[in-house]
Structures are given as structure tokens and as C-alpha cells.
Structure 1
Amino acid sequence: MAFEAMFQPIQLGKLTIRNRVISTAHAEVIATDGGMTTERYVKYYEEKAKGGVGLAICGGSSVVSIDSPHEWWSSVNLSTDRIIPHFQNLADAMHKHGAKIMIQITHMGRRTSWHGNDWPTLLSPSGIREPIHRASCKTIEPEEIWRIIGDFAKAAGRAKAGGLDGVELSAVHQHMIDQFWSPRVNKRTDEWGGTFEGRMKFGLEVLKAVRAEVGDDFCVGMRLSGDEFHADGLSHEDMKQIAKYYDDTGMLDFIGVVGSGADTHNTLANAIPNMSFPPEPFLHLAAGIKAVVKAPVLHAQNIKDPNQATRILEGGYVDMVGMTRGLIADPHLIAKIKMDQVDRIKQCVGANYCIDRQYQGVDVLCIQNAATTREYMGLPHIIEKTSGTRRKVVVVGGGPGGMEAARVAAERGHDVTLFETSDALGGQITIAAKAPQRDQIAGITRWYQLELTRLGIDLRLATRADEAAIKDLAPDIVVLATGGRPFLDQHAEWGYAENSDESLVVSTWDVLSGHVEPGKNVLIFDSICEFAGVSAADFLADKGAKVEIVTDDIKPGCAAGGTTFPTYYRSLYEKEVIMTSDLMLRRVYREGDALVAVLENEYSGTQEERVVDQVVVENGIRPDEVLYYGLKEQSRNKGQVDLEALYAIQPQPCLAEEGDGFLLFRLGDCTAPRNTHAAIYDALRLCKDF
């Protein structure tokens, strides 16, 4: 009853949705075979239907025309009748679980890339280049305009023929429709520009053609921005006028509203708010549009919690809430609420690993749920009990890989002991959460703590596992997830010493964990360019230090992700952090009470120096392999993993072999440094068959 507002049915046109929760359109980057919704695609959405979602709008940026390429995003291709039987499979999979399924359709215009596959000529209303994709384009001609309007209609017809429940016209993030709307992109003086009605004409003709194609009994909506956040773009008042203009036609069954444009790196970071943003930061924009339209309003942006969703719905701000990334983290979110298992929801932490991968053109994955989009491979969201022997499993290391290994083994019904040297779980997650913009990542650990407690795992914190302690438990399986240590000794010239009082450099771990006091004038050298370097810079500047972050890569934080690095840059520029690229750290030496860092430009070979009181180095980590090599020769499998079985998501052959002693596996960073998702993925695909 506490979440009753979420479970109220709603009518969109003539379509009844069983509850008020949507998975909104996003590019999954998994539509293969020429943009078809193949098995992986279907299974990904079916899991959400099993989990209780009311409506899924799939296929963010699904294209209607052959000159709007689908290959860059592996998005759905609605420009061909080939898609129809694939849609039928998708619709059947969703409908049998009581969920509705729609697809977002669009022409990307200038918002894509022209190089590759058919090498299309990109189009926009006035031939103005788009910054994000660095995409040059031509000015669209009237004949091309009418052709694309017809393509929208044909695409909608294919969606209907395939049994989908509706289409959403994308007029957000600078796709073709809102490229015509925006005065910063549309400079035309003909009937397709100039006046308000001229700029609205393309979208109106698309809507009329789609409605004529699919009739009144098929759901048609539109997604738009509530404010482009550009001084020369469309303001909130402009968007209210536009939303009312299309709503007044009576042809829209719903309107989806998000905040921000997305045609620059800075605005893109707003469009998919990461953990540095407050909850539902742009709800006011959706509420503003709801106040002037009659059609139901849908909104999604940083709504991750059922209490949040309920408050929004009960307040009447919008009619449906999108919990898209929440459903990527846990597709069974709705079912868990219904079963009074709210504490078991794997809540999205806003890491944006999913969307940042999308903007790299690779498949959407979740930082903490390795089963998401891998359902077709047999990776389970719900772990089944073993029907075989109950084993004694010892896990060493309480970081993400170790916690997942312990959870999965316990869910299988095994007797699990987890050793962790520190007095708390989390590993590197705990360190990352110390940074000003990364605190919410601790939610990953909180979920595991609850699950490990529920499963009754023998949790031994502040306990260093050695060979004797492990063998004393007579384990059948030992899983090592001992992580690693900062790799500061790669170059002797850096002056690293294991005794920090003698060392000339310290690690980002030292700084973020509070192991060393922050300096007042600090140089950070970051050779990795992911989160740790920029997090340390943000942290130190927050403490009042004067900070310069230097990298030998193209720019600091360049590997942090397209929706993530801009939020760091906002903070670093505000705190006057100096960001320097193309310099490598050659050596560090002491001069009196100061440290001198010698930097070298790889391209010119010239050197320069910085005089500081602290040098922080982020150079990744080296695996902690001591315990592994101590146990390896005593194990039945000599610590080896059958890679063919692992990659095929099959049981390790050694699990079926008889013999004395224990099996030994290692995963995560104590094998090779990667990331949180990799550690959790290794743990799930290895331990699900214990």
C-alpha cells in the first residue's frame, strides 16, 4: 500500500498500461544482424516484463531512413520490412508477461556519424555541424524532407504490423524533428523555418503522416526536451509552447519530457544525470509542460527509488515515471516491491557505466549487474539452488568480485566463508566513495551487505586469510578476490618507497582513503585517465589544495565516459584545478622541503619542472598474487580456469571431476586489473555453477 500510486493502471490513448512505471527509450547497442531485434534484444526486454514493468519503450534512436545510419549504435532499423517478424517475437515475449512494448522512431539528421557502412550524406535543416559527433552535413532539400516524412509513416506501420503497442517520435537531444524546432540549428527562411509555425511544420507533417498510417487505435507519443539549456536554444517557455502546439492537434497519446539538449559534451552530461546530480533534477520541467497539455506526461531522469517514484506520482507532477537505469540495475524492481522485498532491490547508483558504454558504441551493461543484456547467454538474475553436492566455499577479499562470488555461492546453497582484511566490505568501492562526486557508488556495497547478511554467510572482517586459516576450514572451493595495490614502482625514478615517510610519491588511494594528509600544492600524474585521477583532483581541491592534474594522454579523465567527464570538468574548473595533457612523469626528486616533478612532452621531448609539496600518482594497480601462488600447487586444478567454458557461460569441467583437496580460482584485480563490472561478471559466470 505504501507504493500504491506506482501500481495504478493508466490509459495512453486506447492502450491500458498495468502500472505507472516505464523503461524509457535508450540505445541498447545490441540490435544486430542489420539492426534487428534478435534473441539478445528480446531476452533483455522480456526480463523487464517478467519483473513487472508496465511499459517498455525500446530502441532509443531507432532509425526510419537509410540515410540515418543505425550501425553506429547497433540501433533498431525500421527502414526495412525485415524488422516485422523480429518485432512479432519481441511483442509476443512482452505480452505473455502482461507488459506493453513500444519503440522510439527517429531520423537522426546531423546527430550521428557519416563514416562507415554506406557512408551517408548527413542532413540538417541548415547544414550546421553537430559538436558531439563532429558531424558535417548538408542542408536538407524539400524533396528529402517529404521523403523522410514518408519514411516515418512507413516505420510506424512496420511497428504496428509487428505487433508493437505504439511508437514514440523522438524530438529530443537534437534529432531531426527538434533540429527543425531549434533556432540555433534551423536558419531557414522558407516554409520549413523562419516563423514558429514554419519551424513546427516538419514535426507536424511527421505526426500527421504517422497517424494516417497507423490509425487512431495505435498509440503515438512524442519525447521532447523541457529546456535545451542553451542561451540561443529553446527555453522552458518555448518548450511549453511547442508541447501545447502538438498536444492541441489531438494526435498525441502521451508526451515524454526530459531536461537538457545533448548536442554538446556539457549538455549531454545533463541528459543522463549521473551520481553527482540530485534526485529527479529536471522534474520541474516535466511538471511545467504537464500544466499546459492534456495528454499524459511521462518523465525519466534520475528516478531510482520507489519512494521517489511514489512521491512524484502522488504529487501529480507527472503521470508515469521512467526508472530506466533502475531497471537496468534490477529488472525485477517492480516484482520486489510487490513481494515486500524493497530492501532486496539492487538500486542504480548512477555510475552511468551503461550509458557511457553506449556513447562508446558498445553494448549497454550495468556496473553492478552482470546479467543485464546477457540473459540470452544463460546468465541469471535469480540464482537457483544447486541440485548437487553442498560444498564448503571460502572467498578471500570483500571487494565487488569477492562479494558477488560469496553471494552467488550462498544463493546456490553452499556453506560460504568470506575473509576481508579491512573492517568493512567494499574494497576499492569504499575508496572511490570518498570522492566528492562518487559517494553514491557505496550503494553497491550496501546492497551486498544486506544480501550477505540475509544469506547467513560467515563473514570474517578485519581478518587476514593465510594458507593455514583457509585449509583449516577444509574447503572444497577457494575463490581469491584479493585485489591489488597501487602500481607506483613501475619507474624507479618516481622515488616510490613502501614506507610512505620515505616515498616521494603517494597514490590516489592514499589520498582518498585519508592514509596521507592532503598537500597544499599538489601535482597529480594520471596515466590511466579513468575515475581515480580526476576524483583525487576534485577531492584535494575540495580540501583547499592548489592542484594540477597532468596526463600523458589526450586529456585528464578522457576514459571516464562521455556523460561523466563533463561533470568532473565543471567541478575542476570551478575549483581552478589546472589540467595539463601530453606530459609524462619522468622523475621526482627532493630539493630542500619541496619536491620537484620532472615532466616530459612525448611529442617534442622537451622537459619542464613543477615545484610542489606533494606528488600523487595514478598508475593503475598490480595484482596481489602472494596467496594465490602459495595455494596454487596445493589445489586440484592448479588455479587454472577453463576459458572456453568460462566464455561460453558453462560450468568449469573440474567441478565434475572427483579428487582430494580443493579447487582454486581467482578473479577480479588479483588476476588482472580491470574494473568493477569485470570483477562481478567473472564472479557470476564462474560461481553460478558451483
Structure 2
Amino acid sequence: MLFGPHETNLGRGRALSERHVAYYARRAAGGCGVVVTETASVHGSDWPYERAPLAADCGPGWADVVAACRPHGALVLASLGHTGAQGSSGHAQTALWAPSAVPDVVTREVPVAMEQPEIDALVAGSAAGARIAVGAGVDGVEVDAGPRSLLRQFASGLTNHRADGYGADRLRLLREVLAAVRAELGPGRALALRLSCDEEAPWAGITPDLAVGHVRELAPLVDLLVVVRGSGPAPSAYRPDGHTAPGFNTDLTRSVRAAAGGTPVVLQGSVVDVAAAQRALDDGVADAVEMTRAQIADAELVRRARAGVRVRPCTLCNQACQVRDVRNPLVSCVADPSDEGALAAGAGRRVTVVGGGPAGLEAARVLASAGAEVRLVERTGRLGGALRLVAALPGRARFADLADWLAGEVARLGVRVELGTTAEGGDVVATGAHRPPGGSAADVLAGAELPPGPVVVHDPVGGPVGVGVAELLAAAGREVTLVTPDAVVGERLGGDLAPAGARLARAGVRRETSSRLRSAGGGVAVLADRWTGEERTVPCAVVVDAGPGLPGDVPPGVPAAGDVVAPRTVLEAVLEGRRAARALLAAPPR
């Protein structure tokens, strides 16, 4: 079991911090066998995001991670890399490095083609990073030649148009880096390689067939090979959301393993279920499995699985664990948001939680786990609240698994659940939002019938709900127009932004961007251009509002959580439910 490298924003400057140490130690304590730290840049020219680690600054942090993980039996590998043209010039204030001056498809920035001095500096930086990691006591190093890597850019015909030896032999630089790192590792330490084996750009890029040849050449040089996919044109292929089936790299990994000549191969790619991981091992797909997002969702995944306890599920939503966006958040998870500190004892307390959505369920779970006697009151006939609605969206079905897990946990912990019941007051209030009846996205997701005719989905938020409802209605054969004030639909979707646009286009959804909905009636909706105010009409028989609901009333001094406070995401609702429970436990009994 591997916990793979990923951006966390937990750094202090460009060094690993004590928060990194605690983050990795939790997974080691939970039973993970191999922890791979966040990829550190091997040269100062590479500064892809604000708190990206720099190998030259990581020695003390790597040593602390090793000290924290080793008592639990976990091996620690330091990931080393350089993002090249897929980095950012905003922090280093220097030109991006690349094999050729090919504009990056995402940033449109034109990099500088590396000359021999830059190539030599990259190889030397990789060796120096490995030397520092060895001095910190790591068990090995993983070299990154994955989707965002400069080494992948050299290996690919998409981005390597060179006429010299590094163009005639596109794997040459990768071999030189591996040799330099191997020389620093010495005996007894592992050399792993994260290798993009499908760029999803068959017109010029690395294809699975080409990758087999790459693997035959590179596998003898390493001790472990992690099979991934993705590139500049397909950045979401590395860790897509729930619209892509889990375990999507299975066939690719199987073919690579057959070519690896006995070098152990790791399956990566939305592997989030323990049973599926075990099947992959039993079927000979791979020798090990990387379950990174699954262990972000449940740091104790291995320990729970061994004990026969149900694992907290990963929803494959990418809403909190992908941190490279304009908000610059810390790594987190909608199922297990960060909240530090020990729980106060709750034995002897009798507590009523009102509301059985994600916030109320999490509050009840935390209170019961602290020993409190908990009563959970829910006015509907089923627990889960908004999680059940979100699960009706395309690609979001795993939110129902989270609802089931929370309901199962409160049952396991002895919470007394009363369905179809209302309660005045309560010790924690999590009764959700309220919306005018009819015409909301929540109504559509709950199965409400809409009048016939064209539908306008009004999305002032830019999150997954508006896009998902438009997809759902288009799949049902409705004529759909999605209206947003933003320049693109789904502006807050992060890694799913481009795939969502492609899905909407294929579904025939009309997209009206930079637009405000002025009015609707008489078979049309009147839209106004956000910038000019110029009005136009689109066909409309019914408007579906994908905006947030309205908060409710909470008695003064009573801990509250979720949509009853203000419109919240699942992450915020679960986190606030947890915090409300902690606050109640920390306060004197009433």
C-alpha cells in the first residue's frame, strides 16, 4: 500500500513543516506501507506553486517524517522532480525550462528551450536532492516523470522537438537522472519511478504501445515503477473525479507489468476500495497499490480493513484534496476535514442533535465517540440530507457511500436515532437550508417533475450542482440552457473544469456565460450581458435555480453547523459539525 506524492500546501516556505510530519505520520500509524512525500523541486528554477517544496530546503523535514513514520513500520520515499513548462514563472520570476519552446496548453506561456548548462544543472540538482534525502535517512527516492514533469516533457513527442541527442533519444535525460540518483542512493535504498504511460494525446504523445517500449528500457534501472497517465493536454487524467470509473489504469498497468521484466509495478488511478485493490493484486495486475485519495479520506484505512471495520469512503469529488487553485487551500477531505486537537471526555452527558444531514451526523458521531449519550432527531424518514441529493448528480454517486458510512457509524456508536420527528432547540442544531418550494436544483435532485419544454438552469455559484443538474436534464432528453455570470461554466470545479465543459458540449447543453438572468415568462428567459447590459432571450418553459438555499433560525448560544448557519459545501458542513461537537464537549454541562 502506497500513499503517493501530492500537493498539500502544508509547507513553511519551501520546506516540509511539522504539519507535513503529522500528516504523513497519521497514514503510517494507520498501516500504510510506503509513504511518498510531496514532490520537491530539484532546482530553484522550478517553483510551480507558492508552498512547493525545494529539495535543498527539505533535509530536516524529511528526517522528521522518517522519525515519525519508522516506528509504525512504514518506509519513506522522497519524491524529486521538476515541472518544467507546466510550472509557473510567477514565483521564481524566471523563464520556464522545457525541452523545446512549445507553449504550454494550459498557461499558454512559452518556455525557454534548455541548453546543455541547464540540462547539467537539472541532473546535478537531482543528484543533490537525492544526497540530501539520503542524509535525512529516507528509505529511497521516487523520480517524477509523471503528467506534470519536465522528464515526461523530454520523453514526449508533444513537447520535445529537439534536433540534438536529447531529441533523437527522448529517454536520454531520464536515464541520466536515474543514474545520478542511483549513484547517490547507494545500496539498501530503493529507487522508484513515477512514469506517465499514456498522455491521452495519440497524435504525437506517449501512447500505451510506446510506453511498453519505454518500460522495457527503464524498468531494469529502478526498483519500483508507478504507472500513471496524463499530460499537459490531459491534466485531469492523473486523478480524475467520479465521472471516471475507479481503477481506470488497470489494463494499462497490466500491460506495463508484462513488459517490466520482474521490476515491481504499482497500480495507481482512483483506487479507493480495499476489495478492488485486493482483486488487482490477486489478478496479477500489479505488485502493490497506491491509494492516495482513499487514505486522505481515511488515514486508518489499512488498520480498519484488517480489523474488518468499514473504511470511511473517498467520494472522488476532488473538492478539498486538490489544492492548486486560486484559493490556495490546505489539503483536506470532505469526509475527514482537518480539525486539530484532542476531544474532551463526554461520558455522562446527554445530548440532542437536531438534523440528520452531514453536519448533524458528524456532530453525533464525534459526540458519541467521546462517550456522550446522543439522541439524533431528523424530520424526514432518512439520514443523509444533502449528501443524498448530491449523490443523484452524475459522477457524484459516492456521496451516498459517505451518507451510509456516517449513518453506520452513529448506529455502531449507539446513537438513538428518531426519524420523522421534529424537536425544538437541541444542543446542536444542523437543520439545513430552506428554499421556496419548486424550481430549485434540490427539487430536481429529489425527483420532482418539471413542466415540459426548454429548461434554463441558473447557476450563480459555478460549482458542481449547476453543471450536474444540466447534465442530468440533458440526459433525460430536455433542451437545456445553462446560465452563469462567470466567463466559463463551472468556474469552481478545479480539475473537472475542462472535462465538464466537454461533457456539456457533447450533451448539447447551451451555455450562456457572462450572463445574468433578468426574467422568465411567455416561453423565454431574458438574459443580460454581464459587461454591456445588452439583453437577449433564450427558450424557457421552466427555470431551475442552482443557487444556495437560505439559512435558518438558530437559538442564541446554541452550537449550529451546516446550511442552517449559511450556505455551505459538504466539506464545510462536516467540519462545522465536528467543531460544534468539540465546542459542546469543551463547555460545562448545561
Q: TM-score, normalised by structure 2?
A: 0.95
The secondary structure found in structure 2 opposite 1:101 is: strand
Structure 1 position 389, deviation (Å): 5.5
Distance 1:91 1:326, change over 3 A: same
Distance 1:573 1:499, change over 3 A: closer
The secondary structure found in structure 1 opposite 2:434 is: strand
In 2, are the aligned partners of 1:511 and 1:518 still within 8 Å (CA)? no
Q: Structure 1 residue aligned with 2:297, among 301, 320, 329?
A: 329
Distance 1:246 1:518, change over 3 A: farther
The secondary structure found in structure 1 opposite 2:559 is: strand
Q: Structure 2 residue aligned with 1:89, among 28, 44, 64?
A: 64
Correspondence 1:113 to 2:84: no
The secondary structure found in structure 1 opposite 2:272 is: coil
The residue aligned with 1:575 is: 507
Correspondence 1:561 to 2:561: no
Correspondence 1:255 to 2:238: no
The residue aligned with 2:206 is: 234
Distance 1:172 1:499, change over 3 A: closer
In 2, are the aligned partners of 1:299 and 1:320 still within 8 Å (CA)? yes
**CA distance in structure 1 between the partners assigned to 2:526 and 2:222 by the alignment:** 63
Structure 1 position 518, deviation (Å): 5.8
Correspondence 1:268 to 2:247: no
The residue aligned with 1:146 is: 120
**CA distance in structure 1 between the partners assigned to 2:257 and 2:42 by the alignment:** 28
Q: Structure 2 residue aligned with 1:205, among 171, 176, 180?
A: 176
Distance 1:418 1:58, change over 3 A: same
Q: Structure 1 residue aligned with 2:258, among 246, 268, 291?
A: 291
The residue aligned with 2:332 is: 365
Q: Structure 2 residue aligned with 1:303, among 260, 271, 280?
A: 271
Matches within 5 A, 1:54-73: 54-60=33-39, 62-69=40-47, 72-73=49-50
The residue aligned with 1:130 is: 104
* Structure 2 gap segments, 5+ residues each: 586-590
Listed one character per residue, the Cα deviations across residues 554-581 of structure 1 (whole Å, up to 9, x for unaligned) are: 111111222x233433332221111120
The residue aligned with 1:521 is: 454
**CA distance in structure 2 between the partners assigned to 1:585 and 1:624 by the alignment:** 26
**CA distance in structure 2 between the partners assigned to 1:262 and 1:620 by the alignment:** 35
Correspondence 1:22 to 2:2: yes
The residue aligned with 1:313 is: 281
**CA distance in structure 1 between the partners assigned to 2:451 and 2:37 by the alignment:** 47
Q: Structure 1 residue aligned with 2:390, among 432, 435, 441?
A: 432
In 2, are the aligned partners of 1:25 and 1:57 still within 8 Å (CA)? yes
The residue aligned with 1:680 is: 574
The residue aligned with 1:466 is: 424
In 2, are the aligned partners of 1:30 and 1:75 still within 8 Å (CA)? no
In 2, are the aligned partners of 1:624 and 1:670 still within 8 Å (CA)? yes
Listed one character per residue, the Cα deviations across residues 136-190 of structure 1 (whole Å, up to 9, x for unaligned) are: 3111111111111111000011111001111111111041111111011010101
Matches within 5 A, 1:159-238: 159-193=133-167, 195=168, 198-230=169-201, 231-238=203-210
**CA distance in structure 2 between the partners assigned to 1:285 and 1:460 by the alignment:** 49
**CA distance in structure 2 between the partners assigned to 1:109 and 1:567 by the alignment:** 24
Q: Structure 2 residue aligned with 1:41, among 8, 17, 20?
A: 20
The secondary structure found in structure 2 opposite 1:221 is: strand
The letter of the residue matching 2:490 is: G
The residue aligned with 2:429 is: 480
Percent identity between the aligned chains? 29
**CA distance in structure 2 between the partners assigned to 1:520 and 1:168 by the alignment:** 56
The residue aligned with 2:403 is: 445
In 2, are the aligned partners of 1:520 and 1:544 still within 8 Å (CA)? no
Distance 1:356 1:88, change over 3 A: closer
**CA distance in structure 2 between the partners assigned to 1:465 and 1:183 by the alignment:** 65
Structure 1 position 359, deviation (Å): 4.2
**CA distance in structure 1 between the partners assigned to 2:580 and 2:444 by the alignment:** 34
**CA distance in structure 2 between the partners assigned to 1:603 and 1:358 by the alignment:** 29
The residue aligned with 1:612 is: 540
The secondary structure found in structure 1 opposite 2:417 is: strand
**CA distance in structure 2 between the partners assigned to 1:85 and 1:561 by the alignment:** 32
Correspondence 1:541 to 2:474: yes
Listed one character per residue, the Cα deviations across residues 473-520 of structure 1 (whole Å, up to 9, x for unaligned) are: xxxxx111111124xxxxxxxxxxx564xxxxx111121211233643
The residue aligned with 2:588 is: none
In 1, are the aligned partners of 2:528 and 2:536 still within 8 Å (CA)? yes
The letter of the residue matching 1:557 is: G
**CA distance in structure 2 between the partners assigned to 1:121 and 1:611 by the alignment:** 48
The letter of the residue matching 2:464 is: F
**CA distance in structure 2 between the partners assigned to 1:131 and 1:288 by the alignment:** 29
Structure 1 position 133, deviation (Å): 3.3
The letter of the residue matching 2:581 is: C
Residue range with higher mean Cα deviation, 228-237 or 352-361: 352-361
**CA distance in structure 2 between the partners assigned to 1:618 and 1:274 by the alignment:** 21
Structure 1 position 438, deviation (Å): 1.6
**CA distance in structure 1 between the partners assigned to 2:347 and 2:224 by the alignment:** 54
The letter of the residue matching 2:515 is: L
Structure 1 position 685, deviation (Å): 2.6
**CA distance in structure 1 between the partners assigned to 2:296 and 2:452 by the alignment:** 40
The secondary structure found in structure 2 opposite 1:192 is: helix
In 2, are the aligned partners of 1:421 and 1:463 still within 8 Å (CA)? yes
The letter of the residue matching 1:362 is: P
The secondary structure found in structure 2 opposite 1:199 is: coil
In 2, are the aligned partners of 1:52 and 1:332 still within 8 Å (CA)? yes
Q: Structure 2 residue aligned with 1:77, among 29, 33, 54?
A: 54
The letter of the residue matching 1:578 is: R
**CA distance in structure 1 between the partners assigned to 2:451 and 2:102 by the alignment:** 47
**CA distance in structure 1 between the partners assigned to 2:528 and 2:538 by the alignment:** 11
The residue aligned with 2:217 is: 245
**CA distance in structure 1 between the partners assigned to 2:561 and 2:437 by the alignment:** 28
The secondary structure found in structure 2 opposite 1:358 is: coil
Distance 1:63 1:153, change over 3 A: same
Structure 1 position 588, deviation (Å): 2.1
Listed one character per residue, the Cα deviations across residues 530-552 of structure 1 (whole Å, up to 9, x for unaligned) are: 01111110111111101110111
Structure 1 position 385, deviation (Å): 7.3
In 1, are the aligned partners of 2:248 and 2:269 still within 8 Å (CA)? yes
The letter of the residue matching 2:211 is: M
**CA distance in structure 2 between the partners assigned to 1:499 and 1:202 by the alignment:** 62
In 2, are the aligned partners of 1:522 and 1:613 still within 8 Å (CA)? yes
In 1, are the aligned partners of 2:484 and 2:512 still within 8 Å (CA)? yes
Number of aligned residue pairs = 581
The letter of the residue matching 1:351 is: C
Correspondence 1:338 to 2:312: no
In 1, are the aligned partners of 2:266 and 2:289 still within 8 Å (CA)? yes
The residue aligned with 1:588 is: 520
**CA distance in structure 2 between the partners assigned to 1:339 and 1:451 by the alignment:** 15
* Structure 1 gap segments, 5+ residues each: 1-20, 471-477, 487-497, 501-505, 633-637, 640-663
